[in-house]
């Protein structure tokens, strides 16, 4: 049991933008740190010079900031730490925990080929494990290149994963793995252990795809006499077809969800539910509620399935909870000119009327356009169904005349006019409601017609009804 204040980290490789899986890992680390008054650190694993790009680092940081996952100390960049890694490699060799391997590429390839032919898994032969010091010196003198391998000791490597439970690996299954390549560059399993120790990481929380690396990293910890942190591996995220979530399933980047107009709190809420639940019926959480209720013990081993529909529902719930002013402010952060020329009170009323019908900020923009512009055309399917002959035109004209006579333009008087007309014609109110809606909005569904009409105003309603009466039926 680790009683120190936890220090956790998110350690992305900047080889792409922040995707949902990475964001979920970052979130669980952040929640753990915030819940236990610890620190959440960010380490950029940019040792792969070819694939790492500054623009991805920027994008990852921007996405984390947008999600509200703020980190506590300066970012650690692995690319700046070669001196530390080299000194550790030297130390390991000096202490007899690692050795130089002069095996040529060709020799290793041949070993690999033989293993393949024999149908056995490849295992380094250990040819350089016990080289005589004189041979080593001769090789060095000759300028022969070498990699550095760790001596994997006999026995077992064991750890208690906070999610997967006890994991025990027979060291026989792991060969003396390379910690520095022939060009001197250190490998992942070394630098992660060195950095986690150097940064005082107490809990390593990361995707379950790293479970197989953990035993190797623990060997590095042991070889260096470092205290071993706790480990928690998070379940995989699958697409609806139960295959690992990938681009094939649609948008996987955090930035894409931002662009689609999701609120960051909604995405955070949904990500938290990918592998965790509070054990109650509650599904909608603010970030503060998540901090309060999060527990690593309630993270499941079972893979989580990404469900876009559920995300949309969660998102809609977050929008309902926001005030119209807050929603407008959020839209203006990415579209500062949105409905700028409209009266602000009118825009707020429109948002108020529509906010329980939309699932994202973009939805809000798209689904409210009818309040700002006359429809250019009419949904063909709805028109064919609801405005299918000239008798409707007659009705609409009558209705329009009644509307012109309304003095106090409110939902009540509009509704009275409509119902009186229906009654006098002995038809259902729907016979007038549906074509009216189509004429006013261009589509077959929307908020309450009378609320919509009150908001649009008398003049606009009459103008739009007249126009539709000229164009419909199709």
Binding site for ligand GLU (CB under 6 A): 11-13, 45, 192, 206, 210
Task: Provide, rounded to whole angstroms, the least separation between the CB of residue 122 and ligand GLU.
Answer: 23
Task: Provide, rounded to whole angstroms, the least separation between the CB of residue 34 and ligand GLU.
Answer: 19
Question: HEC states along 412-446?
Answer: HHHHHHHHHHHHHHCCCCHHHHHHHHHHHHCCCCC
- Active-site position among 5, 53, 138, 247: 247
| CB nearer to ligand GLU: pick between 16 and 473 | 16
| CB nearer to ligand GLU: pick between 12 and 287 | 12
Question: Which structure tokens are listed for 418?
Answer: 């409509």
Task: Provide, rounded to whole angstroms, the least separation between the CB of residue 87 and ligand GLU.
Answer: 21
| CB nearer to ligand GLU: pick between 48 and 289 | 48
Task: Provide, rounded to whole angstroms, the least separation between the CB of residue 78 and ligand GLU.
Answer: 9
| CB nearer to ligand GLU: pick between 274 and 353 | 274
| CB nearer to ligand GLU: pick between 12 and 261 | 12
Task: Provide, rounded to whole angstroms, the least separation between the CB of residue 446 and ligand GLU.
Answer: 45
Task: Provide, rounded to whole angstroms, the least separation between the CB of residue 13 and ligand GLU.
Answer: 4
| CB nearer to ligand GLU: pick between 42 and 354 | 42
Rg, Å, the chain Cα set = 32
Asked about 94 being catalytic, the answer comes back as no
- Asked if residues 56 and 16 have their Cβ atoms less than 8 Å apart, the reply is yes
| CB nearer to ligand GLU: pick between 12 and 275 | 12
> For 158, phi and psi rounded to 5 degrees?
-135, 145
Task: Provide, rounded to whole angstroms, the least separation between the CB of residue 196 and ligand GLU.
Answer: 8
Q: Does the bond joining 402 to the residue before it have cis omega, within 30 degrees of 0? A: no
Task: Provide, rounded to whole angstroms, the least separation between the CB of residue 125 and ligand GLU.
Answer: 29
| CB nearer to ligand GLU: pick between 12 and 446 | 12
**Could you list the active site residues?**
247
């Amino acid at each position: 049991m680790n009683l120190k204040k936890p220090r956790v980290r998110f350690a992305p490789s900047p080889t792409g933008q922040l995707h949902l899986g990475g964001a979920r890992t970052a979130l669980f680390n952040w929640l753990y740190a915030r819940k236990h008054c610890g620190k959440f650190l960010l380490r950029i694993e940019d040792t792969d010079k070819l694939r790492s790009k500054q623009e991805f680092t920027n994008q990852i940081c921007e996405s984390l900031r947008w999600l509200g996952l703020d980190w506590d100390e300066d970012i650690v960049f692995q690319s700046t730490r070669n001196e530390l890694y080299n000194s550790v490699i030297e130390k390991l060799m000096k202490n007899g925990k690692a050795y130089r391997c002069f095996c040529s590429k060709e020799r290793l390839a041949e070993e690999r080929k033989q293993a393949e032919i024999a149908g056995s898994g490849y295992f380094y032969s250990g040819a350089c494990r016990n080289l005589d010091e004189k041979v080593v010196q001769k090789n060095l003198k000759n300028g022969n290149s070498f990699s550095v391998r760790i001596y994997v000791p006999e026995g077992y490597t064991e750890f208690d994963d906070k999610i997967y439970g006890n994991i025990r690996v027979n060291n026989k299954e792991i060969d003396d793995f390379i910690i520095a390549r022939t060009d001197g560059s250190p490998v992942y399993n070394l630098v992660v252990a060195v950095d986690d120790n150097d940064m005082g990481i107490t809990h390593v929380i990361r995707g379950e795809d790293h479970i197989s690396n953990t035993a190797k990293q623990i060997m590095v910890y042991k070889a260096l006499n470092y205290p071993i942190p706790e480990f928690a591996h998070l379940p995989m995220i699958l697409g609806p077809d139960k295959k690992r979530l990938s681009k094939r399933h649609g948008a996987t980047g955090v930035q894409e969800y931002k662009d689609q107009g999701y609120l960051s709190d909604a995405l955070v809420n949904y990500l938290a539910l990918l592998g965790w639940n509070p054990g109650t019926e509650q599904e909608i959480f603010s970030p503060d509620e998540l901090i309060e209720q999060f527990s690593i013990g309630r993270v499941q081993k079972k893979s989580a399935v990404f469900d876009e529909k559920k995300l949309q529902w969660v998102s809609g719930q977050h929008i309902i909870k926001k005030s119209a002013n807050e929603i407008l402010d959020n839209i203006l952060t990415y579209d500062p000119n949105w409905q700028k020329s409209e009266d602000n009170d009118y825009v707020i009323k429109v948002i108020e009327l529509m906010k329980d019908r939309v699932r994202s900020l973009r939805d809000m923009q798209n689904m409210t356009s009818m309040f700002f512009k006359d429809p250019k055309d009419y949904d063909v399917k709805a028109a064919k169904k609801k405005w299918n002959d000239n008798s409707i035109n007659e009705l609409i004209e009558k209705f329009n005349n009644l509307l012109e006579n309304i003095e106090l333009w409110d939902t009540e008087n509009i509704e009275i006019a409509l119902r009186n007309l229906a009654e006098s014609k002995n038809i259902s109110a729907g016979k007038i409601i549906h074509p009216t809606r189509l004429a006013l909005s261009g589509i077959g569904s929307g908020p309450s017609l009378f609320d919509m009409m009150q908001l649009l105003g008398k003049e606009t309603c009459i103008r739009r009804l007249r126009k539709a009466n000229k164009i419909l039926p199709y």
